[in-house]
Amino acid sequence: MSKRDYYEVLGVGKSADSKEVKKAYRRVAMKYHPDRNPDDPDADEKFKEATEAYDVLMDSEKRAAYDQYGHAGVDPNMGGGGFGGGGNFSDIFGDVFGDIFGGGGGGRGGRAGPQRGSDLRYTLDISLEDAVKGTTVEIRVPSLSGCETCDGSGAKKGSSPVTCGTCGGAGQVRMQQGLFQVQQTCPACRGQGQTISDPCGTCHGQGRVEKTRTLSVKVPPGVDTGDRIRLSGEGEAGPQGGPSGDLFVQMSVKQHNIFERDGKNLYCEVPITFVDAALGGELEVPTLDGRVNLKIPAETQTGKLFRLRGKGVKPVRGGSVGDLLCRAVLETPVNLNKRQKELLEELQQTLGEDGKRQSPRQHSWFEGVKSFFDDMTS
């Protein structure tokens, strides 16, 4: 089967520069990548076709030969430069997709550098008071730390790692697959380019040992559940002396027996007697800054919210201080003696039929129920 024109494969003109060719190849390669099209048998061929076109058009010598002689100018079987002789598959992905997948894939970089250690997460349980006002706590974190015996190299004291005999220190090996040269991590040294013939007796060649460290964490005022504090370099140590990862301390604010938090506002329930609710009064209520007096107006109904401004939380990311909202909850008296019951009965009698003036909500509710049943029976 005859090959398609390389410019046509990538959808560019013959005057396209390298930037346009790279952009076009990225678009086509992402569209036909085998991992994205596992059920399409033609996608793999189109992907290889686009890769072959990119390799030729990005090489000035190959492109000149192709423009002059066509496919024959770059066909190795016909004496041309050939697709398999110049660049490699990994180089292409390093150039085109490096910014997407986080690096050049090692195509031109040679041996991989020291790997960074893993990040760690620690969940810190703190009280609401500490979350609002801030605090400093000490935590114990188990992690992999650099071996002090071998200074993280993994080799026994007095010895050192040797160049890998499989990859020659490159950290990668190449395999020929048809028209493609595939570059992959060396299985012998795992991309390090070096092997340890005489490992350290403490870390057994890993360069890291498990330790539990005590760290001091400064919690700023206003944090809430889910907020994270980053401690740079306090994660796991990297293998073979690589840099350490980071430790993320995630806040978890414990439930409070009085207050509930919603963003920068605090909520609490304030039980009041029916006498205070009816006649009004003054109660002492708690806040995170101490006690304050709350004035209860006469005829207060259960569920009414009283707002104490500035008694909430100052957000950790800045902004005004929240409020404390107190919800009145009417408490029914219990364990009444005989005289108290008689007084309540006398009160009930004084209300009489005119009780709808003193209990308008109850009266309207019963009227609504009556209307509901009348509608059902009519």
**238-253 pLDDT tens trace:** 876 778 889 999 999 9
Q: In which residue are the tokens 């015996």 written?
A: 149
pLDDT in tens, the chain (378 residues): 567 888 888 898 888 888 888 888 888 888 887 777 777 878 888 888 888 888 888 888 888 888 877 777 777 654 444 444 444 444 444 445 544 443 444 444 444 456 788 899 999 999 999 999 999 999 999 888 888 888 877 888 878 888 888 887 777 888 766 566 677 888 877 777 788 878 888 888 778 888 888 999 999 999 999 999 999 888 888 876 778 889 999 999 999 999 999 999 999 999 998 888 889 989 899 998 889 999 999 988 889 999 999 999 999 888 899 999 999 999 888 899 999 999 988 888 887 655 566 666 666 766 777 777 777 776
What CATH number matches the domain at 114-149+204-255, 3.40.50.720, 2.60.260.20, 3.40.47.10, 3.40.50.1100?
2.60.260.20
How distant, in Å, are the alpha carbons of 76, 139, 375 from that of 86? 11, 55, 89
How distant, in Å, are the alpha carbons of 5, 9, 192 from that of 51? 13, 10, 28
Q: Residue 85: which of 65, 62, 110 has the closest Cα?
A: 62
Q: What stretches of 297-364 adopt beta strand conformation (E)?
A: 305-308, 324-331
Backbone dihedral angles phi then psi of residue 138, each to the nearest 5 degrees? -105, 135
User: 18-32 and 89-101 are packed helices; what angle lies between their axes, rounded to 10 degrees?
Assistant: 80
Top-level class of domain 6-101: mainly alpha
**Tens of pLDDT along 46-70?**
888 888 888 888 888 888 888 877 7
The answer on whether 268 is annotated among ligand-binding residues is: no
DSSP letter assigned to residue 155: B
| Whether the domain at 114-149+204-255 and the domain at 260-331 fall into the same CATH topology | yes
The answer on whether 167 is annotated among ligand-binding residues is: yes
What CATH number matches the domain at 260-331, 2.60.260.20, 3.40.50.970, 3.30.1380.20, 3.30.420.130?
2.60.260.20
> Hey, where are the domains in the chain?
6-101, 114-149+204-255, 260-331, 338-377
**Tens of pLDDT along 107-126?**
444 444 567 888 999 999 99
The answer on whether 189 is annotated among ligand-binding residues is: yes
The answer on whether 326 is annotated among ligand-binding residues is: no
